Structure 1
Amino acid sequence: MSTEGAGVLFLKPGQIVVSSHPLLVTTLLGSCVAVTMFCQRLKTGGICHAQLPTCREREAEGVTHPGRFMDSALREMLARLLERGALAGELEVKVFGGSDMFQGRGRGRAVGRQNAEMALAVLARESIKVLNQDLFGERGRKIIFHTHTGAVFLKRLNRSGVC
């Protein structure tokens, strides 16, 4: 797989990228979740890096920063891909992150678990099949997504305060 001529981008929390141009998108995940979507026919890929499962002001007309929230980030990324001519049934989808980086702090379900569960629930609601996933655990992840091939490379990090 050639990466010659591909641009490089570091995806920050709350960002969404959809590109038909070759990009190598790198991001670091802890409790955050990244979802990649790739359309082979169009050679177009998208990735989002969401920090929280859902916007508390759900009834609000428009979320100011849709990439921050898993539910709105997925809807936004999917809309961008469909606008470019992708069909939901042909998307190759992969989901990463959702670690419990601060195990034992606080009560209830950790935000990482909530982020991952929200991602899977939204994708299921949209009838989008997840091809691969690497979720939960106690370690952060570094991923590199190739927007022009759909390939994702994953490295598990030492326990630290990533994202």
Structure 2
Amino acid sequence: QDLQLQMEATERLKLRVILDNDNAERLILPSRPSSVQALIDEIKTRLKLTFDFRLQFEDPDFDHALCNLVEMEHLPSTASVKIIRLVELDLISTSTSETSLLNDSTDAIDSPERISRWPEVFIVPKFSYEVEHVLKEGNAAFEKDGKLIRLPRDQKHNILEVMGEENF
């Protein structure tokens, strides 16, 4: 058994790293990293990625469905891993009107029940092409003129539904 563990630790790792729907990179590591975080660090270094992410892998035990990678021993020596970008929320407001609103309702915000419902890391999922396009145009208009976007009800519903599925 010790020999098997030693072999697994030095085993070569051949990965297909899925960056997004249109991009994937082949990556061969001479040995298996000791932890998921070590693998993430290695992928960041080798592929020159500057953002934080978590990994999912195609699990052969479940017809290659994507599963979160939490233990290195679950990852086969040849595998596809998908990068899931993480976006951290900036909870500090620089607007005085927002700050005063926050101060007025501190009790509701500070309650343990309220705080525990927010994820530590907020994952921004991919939306439908139409929604992504509208959001991109809205961001461009805001950058150019400071103009806020107005979304139709169905697009708001789509955004909330997709975000809820990804984060909860």
TM-score by length of 2: 0.23
Greater fraction of residues in helix: 2
TM-score by length of 1: 0.24
Greater fraction of residues in strand: 1
User: Relative contact order (C-alpha < 8 Å, sep 6+): which is higher?
Assistant: 1
Flag the structure with larger Rg: 2
